[in-house]
Chain A
Amino acid sequence: MNRTPHPVIRSGFLLGLIALLGTALLAGVNGLTHERIIEQEKLRVLQQLNALVPVASYNNDLLGDRIEITDEAFFRHPAPIVVYRARMDNLAVAALMIVTAPDGYNGDIRLLIGIDSNGTVLGVRVVSHRETPGLGDPIEIERSDWILGFNDRSLRNTQTSDWAVKRDGGEFDQFTGATISPRAVVRAVHNTLLYFKANQQSLFETVSITAKQNDH
């Protein structure tokens, strides 16, 4: 009998060894970077939130005080709405909601909308979008201060008919050559304010996801 293993077996073994070494390397690097990546992700979210609600105005664990709500009929989008609740000594200060506007020029525009306990907009930021660069992207704070036009707006100081871009008879500017992106954002912010008004109590009273996990 031939004692040396067949070349194919030897090659297969070698290939397996390389795969094993590669996997070990990846597992090692993943172990080294995993915590830092999670920290960075959290820090990034917290920075975005703190841009809308000042650090001094709340004293709870903002990232931990989080719920998710799904109301496809109301928001016209199946993605769950993430809500962070800011509280000062357990009193509601503000809700920061990540809402998806379904009707951008190129699909979804994800927005972070901060609303204080009186129902006034603290600020709006675009989290992600695929609008046309140069035309629709002035919705980003890095490109223009259009998005700051929502600050201090509420259902009280802006009537329903004014929650529209100027071309549609409302109070908000559109951009040269782009009406669809600002229209989608205005509609989503208005919608979110309506939702907030109707559900304010449950928004703040629902038990947070992390608290639920701790109960188990």
Chain B
Amino acid sequence: MTTRQLQQILADGAWRQNTGLVVLLGLCPLLAVTNTLINGLALGLATMLTLMVSNLTVSVLRGLLRPEIRIPAFVLIIASVVTVIELLMHAYFFDLYRILGIFIPLIVTNCAIIGRAEAFASRNAPLPSLVDGFATGLGFCITLVLLGALRELTGRGTLLAGAEMLLGDWGHYLTLVVIPEHPGFLLAMLPPGAFFGLALLIAARNAWQARKSATSVTEMIPDTNEI
């Protein structure tokens, strides 16, 4: 596996096939927890870790997994990994667990994870599978963070509120009050705000993509003329 191919996997997972913005998988946790940036980041990291471990495990076992037991085996592996993460989080990030706790088991139901196990890890060697898990998780995490930041900013006028739950006491100093005396914009904090926010992000990405392909077409024209 060349570096170039690994870069390809990375770009696919994080941007071209972004789970949240392009493939639109895993929307349940995506919409449920993103009322603040930190909540989004924490669930994004947990999902990324799950993807990496499950992809790696599936890839290592791929020679043994016969087609007929493939899916139940994936489910078992993913469920075990998620439960381990949940237990560790409960023990070591207790405050965060109190907020995200009920969403952690939901990682199991994130179709992106079983999707990557089936579509990628069961057909590729451990290293590319690990990179694929990282890239897909990174893409998902970025989406969660962007949506969380958008909703937190419009809904409460702050950024990084609650950072102390992830980083310890000094996290208090990270909280930025961007709009002081913000009256609170309820729509952004409630689930409908998540749908609107996600729609805006998808639209922004599509606009960017359309513009980029338009410029690359115009750039190509002189090239063909020269030939």
Which residue of the partner chain, among B66, B72, B79, B91, contacts A37 with CB atoms under 8 Å?
Answer: B91
Interface size range of chain B in the complex: 20 to 34
Assess the A29–B84 pair: CB atoms within 8 A: yes
- On whether A14 and B87 interact (CB within 8 A), knowing A19-B76, A22-B77, the answer reads no
Assess the B64–A14 pair: CB atoms within 8 A: yes
Assess the A22–B76 pair: CB atoms within 8 A: yes
Q: Does A169 contact B (CB under 8 A)?
A: no
Assess the A18–B76 pair: CB atoms within 8 A: yes
A residues 32-67 touching B (CB-CB < 8 Å): 33, 36-37, 40-41, 44
Q: Does B104 contact A (CB under 8 A)?
A: no
Assess the B69–A14 pair: CB atoms within 8 A: yes
Assess the B186–A133 pair: CB atoms within 8 A: yes
Q: Using an 8 Å CB-CB cutoff, how does the interface string of B39-76 with A read, 1 for contact, 0 for none? A: 00000000000000000000001001110110011001
Shortest distance from the beta carbon of A214 to any chain B beta carbon, whole Å: 27
Q: Does A159 contact B (CB under 8 A)?
A: no
Contacts of B66 in A (CB 8 A): 7, 10-11, 14
A residues 1-44 touching B (CB-CB < 8 Å): 7-8, 10-12, 14-15, 18-19, 22, 25-26, 29-30, 33, 36-37, 40-41, 44
Count how many chain A residues have C-beta atoms less than 8 Å from C-beta atoms of the other chain: 24
Q: Does B190 contact A (CB under 8 A)?
A: yes
Complex Cα spacing A132 to B185, Å: 12
Q: Does B160 contact A (CB under 8 A)?
A: no
Q: Does B131 contact A (CB under 8 A)?
A: no
B residues 76-102 touching A (CB-CB < 8 Å): 76-77, 79-80, 83-84, 87-88, 90-92, 94
Q: Using an 8 Å CB-CB cutoff, how does the interface string of B143-187 with A read, 1 for contact, 0 for none? A: 000000000000100000000000000000000000000001110
Which residue of the partner chain, among B79, B87, B91, B184, contacts A134 with CB atoms under 8 Å?
Answer: B184
> Could you pull out 5 A-B pairs where Cβ atoms are within 8 angstroms?
A10-B66, A11-B69, A18-B77, A29-B84, A33-B87
Which positions in B face A, CB cutoff 8 Å? 35, 61, 64-66, 68-69, 72-73, 76-77, 79-80, 83-84, 87-88, 90-92, 94, 155, 184-186, 189-190
Which 4 residue pairs across A and B have the least CB separation, nearest first? A22-B80, A33-B91, A134-B184, A36-B91
